[in-house]
Structure 1
Amino acid sequence: MHEANDHLPEEASEELYERKTFSVDKGQEPFRIDKWVQMHIEGATRNKVQRGIEAGFLTVNGKVVKSNYKVKPGDEIVMMSLINPDHTELKAENIPLNIVYEDDAVMVLNKPANMVVHPGVGNFSGTLLNGVAYHLQQQNPQIDEEALPRFGLVHRIDKNTTGLIVLAKTADAAAHLAKQFFNHTVQRKYVALVWGDVQEEAGTIEAHIARHRQYRKMFDAYPDGETGKHAITHYKVLERFNYVTLVECVLETGRTHQIRVHMKHIGHTLFNDWEYGGDKILKGTIYTKYKQFVDNCFALCPRCALHARTLGFIHPVTQKEMFFESPLPDDMAQVIEKWRNYMLHRKENG
C-alpha cells in the first residue's frame, strides 16, 4: 500500500481539506472498504469513515462507493480529509453574521475585518465558526461536528482580510466544495492596495510558499521551487496612485498569506500589512505633509488592505454556477478615495 499526501500540514493552505491517495497492494484479499480505510488512516473511527464514504469524501478509481464495497488489488482510493482538525469543542455563540446567500446546502458570508475564521490557539471564541455553529443549530438542534465536520468550513481567509467565504450545510455539500477547492476550480478574486507603482498592467507570479525560515508566523516566497508548496497568483492593475497601486489578484492556488507573500516578492508589499512591513512608508516623498497623509490613511484602514471581492463555485446540488460579489468595505474605500484626492491635488499643484 502506498500513500501520498497532496498537501502540506494545515499551516500552508487556505483550503481545509487534504487529499490522501492510496494504491491497494497486489496481494490484497477482498476486504470491506470502511474497515480497510480505518486500518490505514491514523485515528479514524469506523463511524467517521462510514459517514465520510456516505457523504462522497471517498472515491475508488474515481467513483463514489458504498461502505460495503470490497477493495481489490490495484484500486486507487482517494479520501478527502480535514487537515489537522482541531479537537477543541466548538462553542455555539450568538454572533451576528453577514449572510449574503443561504439555502439548504450552502451559505455565503461576508466576513468583517478583525474576525478569525475558526478557533485555534489564543482564539477559542468569537470566531466566525462559533457564530455559524449557533446559526446552524437554530435551524437544526441535532447538527454537530460529528454530522458536519467543522460546521461545513472548507476554506478560510486571514483575520484582517474582509470578504466572501462559503460554507457547506451538509456533509455532501462539504465534500463537493472541498473537491472544487482542491482542484482549483473555485473562482476567487481579491482587491488589494499595494505599495509602489506596479510596472506591468497585468502579470502572473509563480513562486513556492513556505514558512519563513526566521519568523515562524510569517511565510516567504521560494522562487527556485525546492521549498514549500506551488503557488500561482494572477494580478492586474485597476488604478494607479503613483506611490501605491490598486490591483486585482486572482488565486489559482490557495496558500496561506499567498497574495501578501507574492506581492511582497515582486516588490509591492500590501498597504498597512504590519506583518510584512507594509505599515511603514515604502514609497513617496520625505515631506512631513506626506508622512501625515499616510499616517491618516493607516488610521482609516488599520489593517492589511485586502478584500475577497468575488467568489464563484458550482452549487453542490443544482450543479449551477454561483457567483457572488462583495463591495469594498468602508475602510478600504475611504483610503482609496483619499489617494484619488491626493493625486488630483498633486496634479493641480504640479
Structure 2
Amino acid sequence: MTVVLGIETSCDETGAGLVAEGHLLSDALSSSMDEHARFGGVVPEIAARAHLQAMLPVVRTALERASLEPGDVGAVAVTAGPGLSTAVQVGLAAGKALAFGLGVPLYGVHHLAGHAAADVLEHGPLPQRSVALVVSGGHTSLLLLGDLARDRVVHLGDTADDAAGEAFDKVARILGLPYPGGPSIDRAARDGDPRAIAFPRPLTRPSDPPYGFSFSGLKTAVARWVEHHGGPGGDGVAVADVAASFQEAVADTVTRKAVAACRDHGVDTLLVVGGVAANSRVRALAEERCAAAGIELRVPPMRLCTDNGAMIAAVGDALVRAGAPASPLGLGADPSAPLTGALLTGPWG
C-alpha cells in the first residue's frame, strides 16, 4: 500500500492530504481568506507568502492526524497548475523538496482533476463514463470523464469570461455583502424570492454554444438593476431578492447545461464539484433535475468542494495505482494549464 501525500496551493488555501488505496487517511487546511477580505478578492503575493508560512505546519498536521511519519509517505502529488502563478510555485517547490528528500516519486497534477477526484473519497470509484460540472472561483467547465488516471479528459465547454464563483464575489460586492461572495449570497438568498427579478440566463439560446458559459453579462445585469433602483443600500433594493434571483440564474444555467451534456452523451452520472458546488441552490436544483432525468448525482461533502490537499492526494493515489510515470523534478508550474489529463507530464498529461 502506497501512502500519497497531496499538496494544494493554487489559490488562497494551503492544503495537505494523505490517501491510500482510495481512502482518505487525513487532511489539514490553512486559509489566508481573511487577509484578502479587505481587498474584495485574492491578492496573489499575499497568498504566496501565506503558503510559505503554512506549508510545513499543514503537512505536519496531516501526518499527525493520520499517526504517520514522513518516512511512511510513498509518493507526493502536488498541484502544478492551473492557479495563481506565485501560489502554485510555492506548493510545487515544496512538493519537489519533499519528494526528493524522501526519495519518492513526484506527480504534478492538474487542479481540476483534483476536484473530480475529491468525489471518489466520498462515493468510491467513478463509473466508466461520467460528466463533471466544475464550478469554482476560477473555473466553470463541463468535462467528459473516463478513468481519471488513464483516459484523456474531454472539454465539452468552459466559461468565456467570469467563472461562476468570480461572479458571486462581484455581485456580493455590488450588494455590499462581505467577501467571499458565495457564502454571503447564499445566506442572503434564504430570505429572498428567486422569482423577484428576471435576470438573464447566459448562453441558453438555441444558437449559443450548448455547453459554454458566460457570467460577465449576468453580473452587469445585476449591477445595472441595483443602480437603477437607487444603488447599494437604496430604498428600492431588496438585497435578499437580488441575491436569490441572481443565485437562481446561475444555478438554473449551470444545472440545465450539465443535465443536457449527460443526456447528449449518453451518460447517467453527473459530478458537481468545486467551491460553488457548496451552494445550497446549485445542489438542490442539480438533485431535482438529475432525479427527473434518471441521472445519478454525485457531489462531494462541502469540506471537499473547496480547494484542499485531499483531492490532490486522491489524484496521486489513482496515478500510482494505474502505474503512471512520475513527473521529473524539473517540472515547472503552469498557471494556465489546459486539462487534457490528470498528469501534467507523461503520456496521459
Would you tell me which structure has more helix in proportion to its own residues? Answer: 2
Would you tell me which structure has more strand in proportion to its own residues? Answer: 1
Q: Normalising by the residue count of structure 2, what TM-score does the alignment of the two structures yield?
A: 0.21
Q: Normalising by the residue count of structure 1, what TM-score does the alignment of the two structures yield?
A: 0.21
Structure number with greater CO (CA < 8 Å, separation at least 6) is 2
